[in-house]
Chains A and B, each alone.
Chain A
Amino acid sequence: MKRNSLPIISAAVLTIALSALVAVRPVRAGFPNSSPPSPASSGVVKGTVKVKGTVPKPTHIDMSQDPKCAQAHAGSGATEDIVADANGDLENVVVYISAGLPADAKFDVPAEPVVLEQKGCTYRPHVVALRANQELKVVNADSTTHNIHPSPNNNRELNQTQPPGVPFSMTFAREEISIPVKCNIHPWMRSYFAVFKHPFFAVSGKDGSFEIGNLPPGSYTLTAWHEKLGTSFQKITVGESETKTIEFTFKAEAGS
């Protein structure tokens, strides 16, 4: 009895184990389980983010409470709530794939840190996009002390003092778009962190342009998020090796 049943039991257990392995790793064509996705057939989504309507003019920031900030800025500090050029090209918009990726797709987290600099008592860049568990290196290039205080909903809140020249790094474990960041010492300082579990995101530049590469062919929802103007999305389909051009237009309303 014992001798006869052993191979059957063994085979059964092995089969279950193997099928479990297969079950947790379904393979979708063109969709590898780790980044970078195969570049041969992958597509690109690029375009511009615009704002229409009357964009409120940036207001001057009075930094006189901390002379070290005021000096560094030579009086030119201005709010960055909505940054757009004369053509309505909108900067600091996070554009990303918000749906269409397989739920179980996994992508390697880049070893390179993303850098946030505090310079002239202003955050550079104003909007930081990074991957979950990717190192965010915070640099204090000022001669004054800052505190870096993200207020997430879905991640750990932390709040750290950073005197000049002291290195500090942090990570966020979960996807969250977006986490407001403050320096409580200098209340005009404001940044946003957009944390992604996948690599398909971009932040629009000075000319409002964005580009998301290495995108496996498929149908997706592309979302654009702006701190003041809200969220907008479009359904897109990207074919093999296709470059898709998309334009987002936000509407600036009085008082926004």
Chain B
Amino acid sequence: MTKSKMTSRMRTRPGIAVFLLFGCCAFGFAQEQEKENQGSKETRVGDLTGHAASGKALYRRYCISCHGAHGDGAGESAPQLDPKPRDFTKATFKCRSTPSGTLPTDTDLYETISRGIFNSNMPPWRPLTREQRVDLIAFVKTFSSRFQEEKPGVPLSTPPEPATSAASVQRGAQLFQDMNCWSCHGKEGRGNGPSAVTLTDNKGNPIHPFDFTTGTRMKCGEGGPTIFRDLMTGLDGTPMPSFADALNTDQAWDLVHFIESLSAASNKGFFARLAAKNE
């Protein structure tokens, strides 16, 4: 509301009433707007709404031994685990559909709980009902105030995967070189690049780059679209960066195809062909 509007309305007594009424409404509206801009306390996945209170009981039964009573990843079993359980107080999550540095969506967290994290001690929690999993997410989100202060990032879209081809794999191989993927993942994708031994997660624990020759079942899922998403979002809390500003869609798919070829062809002469080409 501008100053001039205020002054004109304040000239008369009914004007004051109108101003107060309107002003209060505007204030209420502004508050609503602010709520819009902040994170929502409600957790929704599809048609389900999560309840933190119900989630708390489930958390204390199923999650507390690894993730700890305070959600900081320092549960009783944590010292024995590698990789370490997630620290929910930082609100930093590897598997997201949202840009690097932003909060995951409720659906992202739901998918992680349902799928588990491959190559870790986090199992899929499919034995729990869908409602229970959504309740758990509502509770996990209470460990960080970021979920009240911020909205999740805008999910990045994953366009349909084009068919792979020798040419696409070859372009991907060049990108693997140019983007310095090899520094960590190794020239042959075995997770043994020159920087691999120096890597730590955001808690300072050693972390190992993925060995692509072992398959395409990765932390956040399996298959081309998952690798595409991992490339675009990065795995927050780990040294794996986002390539959202570095690769266009076609390039990202080429890189995905090359990465897939590393496991499909690991023992079938692919590297022999690649080496022959490079020499």
Interface positions of A (Cβ within 8 A of B): 6-7, 10, 13-14, 65-66, 144-149, 151, 156-163, 166, 168, 170, 182, 184-187
Contact = CB atoms under 8 A, between A and B. Distances in A.
A161 B236 contact: no
Contacts of B237: 157
B195 A159 contact: no
B241 A184 contact: yes
B246 A145 contact: yes
A156 B102 contact: yes
Contacts of A10: 13, 16-17, 20
B247 to A, nearest CB: 8
B236 A159 contact: yes
13 contacts: A10-B16, A145-B179, A146-B180, A148-B241, A157-B101, A157-B202, A159-B238, A160-B242, A184-B199, A184-B241, A185-B184, A186-B183, A186-B195
B267 interface: no
Contacts, number: 91
Contacts of A170: 101
A158 B236 contact: yes
Contacts of A161: 179, 234, 241-243, 245-246
Contacts of A185: 180, 183-184, 195
B39 interface: no
A143 to B, nearest CB: 10
Interface in B185-216: 194-195, 198-199, 202
Interface string B39-72: 0000000000000000000000000000000000
B239 A159 contact: yes
A235 to B, nearest CB: 33
B279 interface: no
Given A158-B236, A184-B183, 11 more contacts: A6-B17, A10-B17, A145-B178, A147-B239, A159-B101, A159-B234, A159-B242, A184-B184, A185-B184, A185-B195, A187-B199
A149 B239 contact: yes
A88 to B, nearest CB: 31
B261 interface: no
B13 A158 contact: no
Task: Give the dominant DSSP class at B's interface.
Answer: loop
Contact of A163 (B90, B242, B246): B246
Nearest to A169: B245
Given A66-B180, A161-B246, A166-B246, A184 B239 contact: yes
Interface in B81-115: 90, 92, 100-102
B34 to A, nearest CB: 16
B13 to A, nearest CB: 6
A186 B194 CA distance: 9
Contact of B241 (A7, A13, A147, A187): A147
Given A10-B13, A185-B195, A187-B195, A168 B100 contact: no
A65 B195 contact: yes
B153 to A, nearest CB: 10
A182 B238 CA distance: 12
A16 to B, nearest CB: 11
Nearest to B203: A151
B241 A160 contact: yes
B240 interface: yes
A131 B9 CA distance: 40
Interface string B8-31: 000001001100100000000000
